[in-house]
Amino acid sequence: MQAAVFDLDGVVTDTAKFHFQAWSKLAKEEFNLDLPASFETNLKGISRTESLEAILKFGDLLDKYSKEEVQNLANKKNDYYVEAISKLTKEDILPGITKLLTDLKANGVKLAVASASKNAPFILEKLGLAHVFDAVADPAKVNAGKPAPDIFLAGAKAVGVAPNQCVGVEDAIAGVSAIKAADMVAVAVGDKDELRQADCVVPTTRNFTYQLFSDVFDRYHK
């Protein structure tokens, strides 16, 4: 294992609640739509534009907005979201992650972020982790979002490591699919049945350790 390529939301920190709050606010203000709590799952691991399209489809409004209008609305949602995440601190790093990152670096493992969020650098800055990661893949520069492998391949390339020498870390089905499509070993956090495509699934980030990552990688490459 020469590199670990991390998703951000749900893996390093939990900003999903802020995303959904921002989408809910936009849906109510612009479309008079009340999004059910269960709808949050539909927006997990996909891009901003795809999320808005899913909301418009939910409200049977998809054909009523031009591409330019969709982009403007997506930007408005992002303003709400950025306002919320500006309050993030290192206290918002998920349990076990700080030690995991420290131990990976101590063992010479390169660290990259492969997130669909264009706000990843800003979030890492707020968490005090910007200096810890060696690279952040830019989602604006990849052809396709998850479950396509592009963002994880970009993360590996950014740290100069072959994909098959990387462990990818995720919490979403689309993300795990992207990791496997990139020919990486997949370690996931969340529901074991839902994320069964991963090579290893743990219930919480507290279970993440350097030894776990190393063992899963070695087992996969036997």
State the catalytic residues. 7, 9
Q: Is 64 annotated as a binding residue?
A: no
Q: Is 52 annotated as a binding residue?
A: no
Q: Is 44 annotated as a binding residue?
A: yes
Q: Is 115 annotated as a binding residue?
A: yes
Q: Is 61 annotated as a binding residue?
A: no
* Sheet strands (E) in the chain: 3-6, 110-113, 135-136, 166-170, 185-189, 200-202
Q: List b or e across 162-195, with b for residues whose CB sees 16 or more CB atoms inside 10 angstroms.
A: ebebbbbbbbbbbbbbbbbbbbbbbbbbbeeeeb
For the four alpha carbons of 155, 159, 165 and 169, in that order, the dihedral sign comes to negative
Q: Is 173 annotated as a binding residue?
A: no
Q: Is 43 annotated as a binding residue?
A: yes
Q: Is 86 annotated as a binding residue?
A: no
**Coil, strand, or helix at residue 171?**
coil
Q: Is 146 annotated as a binding residue?
A: yes
Distance CA 60, CA 177 (A): 29
CA 160, 115, 24: angle at the middle one, nearest 5? 175
59 within 8 A of 31, measured Cβ to Cβ = yes
Q: Is 177 annotated as a binding residue?
A: no
185 within 8 A of 173, measured Cβ to Cβ = no
Distance CA 170, CA 168 (A): 7
198 within 8 A of 176, measured Cβ to Cβ = yes
Q: Is 24 annotated as a binding residue?
A: no
Q: Is 170 annotated as a binding residue?
A: yes
Phi and psi at residue 87, to the nearest 5°: -95, 0
Q: Is 9 annotated as a binding residue?
A: yes
Annotated binding site: 7-9, 23, 43-48, 51, 77, 115-119, 146, 170-171
Annotated binding site for Mg(2+): 7, 9, 170-171
Annotated binding site for substrate: 7-9, 23, 43-48, 51, 77, 115-119, 146
